[in-house]
Structure formats: C-alpha cells, structure tokens
C-alpha cells in the first residue's frame, strides 16, 4: 500500500496532494510502464467536508499511486456568486496546475476526472468553460488519456432537485422552510436569466455531453462512466438514463454502473470493490484506447 498523502490547501475550495519523502512533494516516476494519470481531479458534492471527500481520494491514491490528486470543493454560494468570482477564487490554481503538469513532466500521462453529484458537476463545468477560452499549450498535440466519472449526476429537475437537496428531513420543519426556499430559488433563477446565465441544470447537462473534457489541455473525446441508482432521492435515475442514451447517440464512449438500493452519492460505500473496479477499468480502457489509436 502506498504511503499516506499529505495535503496542501491552495485556497478555501482547492486542496492538492503532496507525496511524502519526495522532492517538492512530487513522486519520481521511474517505471516507464506506469499508467497512473498525472492528475486526478476530484470534484466533491455540494457542502461536502474535506474528510468526506478524502475517503474517495485515499482509494484513488491506492489505485493510482503516482498521481497528483486535486480536490475541488463545492458550496451553495456557487449558485449566487458571479462566474468571474468563481474563476478567480477557485479554478485558476487548478488551471495553472494542469498547465504546469502538461508542460513540465517528461511524460504527461493524462487526467482522470471524478465528479460527485450536481455540485461537483457545476464546479467541473466552470473549469471546463475556463479552459475552453484559453489557447492550447505548445504540447497540445501530444496525446494523453482522459476519462470522466459521473457519480449521481446529472439531474435536471431544477426547483424539484434543489428542494430535495436542501430540505430538512423533519416534515413539519420542511413545511415551514419550503416557501422560503421556493422564493430563494425563484430569485436565483430570475437573476441568472437577467444576467444571461442559462439555467444551471440545463447548462450542466449540455456541458457533460461535450466530447473533450479538458479543452486546451488534452484534445479528443473522453470515455465516461455513469454511476447511479434507482433509489437515489436527489438525482433522478430516469434523467440520468436519458443523458446516458443521448451521450451514446452522439458517439461518446459510455460505461454504466447501476447500483440497487443506494442513496445519493453513496454507491461507493455500498459496494466499494465493485465501484473501484469500475473506476479502474474505465481508466485502463482509456489508456488502451489511446494506445490503439497511436499505433494506427
């Protein structure tokens, strides 16, 4: 088992792994056959605390011991803070790390993106939008594998999904706070419309159908894995299945893991072996696919 990682907080939202006992916290990769991605981007669900997301990061480190892991948090202020603020406060350090890793490593081994829930999806969408506006680096022609894991995402029921996410479990308390949450949602929706920002759920579903997940960093379409459950009370299985169908129809490489009886973003806890086997298989398929295209 690899040594336990230490973590450096780049800002209130972003933490990056630091390899112990290595120069500058970076592991020295000596095995030319190493297939671990250079970077793993792990986007937590809205309101997730760092220790909760570290449960995922620790296993990712076991699977891919030479990868640098970047955890990006998601908080409710995403809904009402401006996109420019989000870019400045959250994503610029992530972009800089991606660019640095792409340009400075002797062999860039690609990026695995792991998204948890709609909150993580919105942060990933913000990063992708920023990358799409940047000029490709000089080494952009160097192919590298990418893959996208979509755990309990995307839903698109707007008000219904938002109310399910923030409503208290107590029925009486729920009845008291529902009017406030409805008014708050309407205010956010109206603000977004007036400022020209499309509805978040529609924007998210559209972004997750784009083939290249990290434009200006790695070209080409990325395979993706959908993880979901019919029992998820927050992310509707039927809406995720519609997204899966659309993704396949537009030619994306799609894999699916449907769990039974598991709650929202809780599939990993119910059957860790199955969950992580699916994650590992997705990445190995991305590596193999790149190798096949390079040999043609």
Tens of pLDDT, residue by residue over 113-129, are 999 999 899 899 989 98
- Which residue has 């998210």 as its token pair? 204
CA 262/CA 241 separation, integer angstroms: 16
Q: What is the pLDDT of residues 32-55, one digit of tens each?
A: 457 899 999 999 998 899 999 999
CA 231/CA 240 separation, integer angstroms: 12
SS3 169: coil
* pLDDT exceeds cutoff 70 at 269: yes
Contact 102, 139 (CB under 8 A): yes
SS3 152: coil
Residue 77, pLDDT score: 64
When comparing pLDDT for 106 and 65, which is higher?
A: 65
User: Average pLDDT over the chain, rounded to whole?
Assistant: 82
Compute CA distances 41 → 37, 97, 120, 184, whole Å. Answer: 10, 11, 10, 31
Whole-structure pTM value: 0.85
When comparing pLDDT for 198 and 247, which is higher?
A: 247
Q: Give exposure, 106-141, as e/b (b: 16+ Cβ within 10 Å).
A: eebbbbbbbbbbbbbbbbbbbbbbbbeeeeeeeebe
When comparing pLDDT for 116 and 5, which is higher?
A: 116
Residue 191, pLDDT score: 59
Mean pLDDT calculated for residue range 127-140? 78
SS3 113: strand
pLDDT band at 243 (very low <50, low <70, confident <90, very high): very high
* pLDDT exceeds cutoff 50 at 31: no
Residue 27, pLDDT score: 42
Q: What is the pLDDT of residues 137-191, one digit of tens each?
A: 655 446 899 999 999 999 876 545 555 555 555 556 555 655 655 565 666 566 5
pLDDT band at 203 (very low <50, low <70, confident <90, very high): confident
């Amino acid at each position: 088992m690899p040594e336990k990682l230490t973590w450096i907080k780049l800002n209130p939202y972003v933490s990056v792994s630091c390899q112990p006992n290595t120069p500058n916290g970076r592991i020295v990769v000596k095995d030319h056959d190493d297939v671990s991605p250079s970077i793993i981007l792990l986007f937590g669900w809205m309101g997730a605390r760092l220790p909760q997301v570290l449960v995922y990061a620790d296993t990712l480190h076991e699977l891919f011991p030479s990868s640098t892991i970047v955890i990006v948090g998601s908080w409710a202020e995403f809904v009402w803070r401006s996109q420019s603020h989000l870019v400045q406060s959250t994503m610029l350090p992530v972009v800089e790390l991606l660019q640095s890793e792409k340009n400075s490593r002797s062999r860039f081994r690609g990026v695995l993106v792991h998204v948890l829930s709609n909150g993580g999806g919105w942060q990933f969408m913000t990063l992708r939008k920023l990358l799409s506006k940047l000029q490709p680096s000089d080494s952009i022609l160097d192919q590298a594998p990418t893959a996208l894991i979509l755990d309990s995402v995307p839903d698109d029921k707007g008000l219904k999904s938002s109310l399910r996410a923030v409503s208290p479990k107590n029925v009486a308390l729920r009845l008291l706070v529902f009017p406030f949450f409805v008014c708050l949602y309407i205010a956010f929706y109206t603000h977004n419309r007036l400022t020209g920002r499309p509805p978040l759920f529609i924007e998210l579903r559209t972004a997750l159908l784009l083939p290249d997940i990290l434009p200006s960093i790695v070209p080409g379409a990325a395979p993706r894995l959908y993880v979901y459950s019919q029992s998820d009370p927050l992310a509707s299985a039927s809406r995720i299945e519609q997204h899966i169908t659309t993704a396949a129809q537009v030619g994306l490489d799609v894999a699916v893991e449907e769990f039974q009886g598991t709650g929202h973003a809780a599939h990993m806890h119910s059957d860790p072996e199955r969950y992580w086997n699916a994650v590992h298989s997705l990445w190995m398929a991305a590596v193999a696919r790149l190798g096949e295209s390079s040999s043609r």
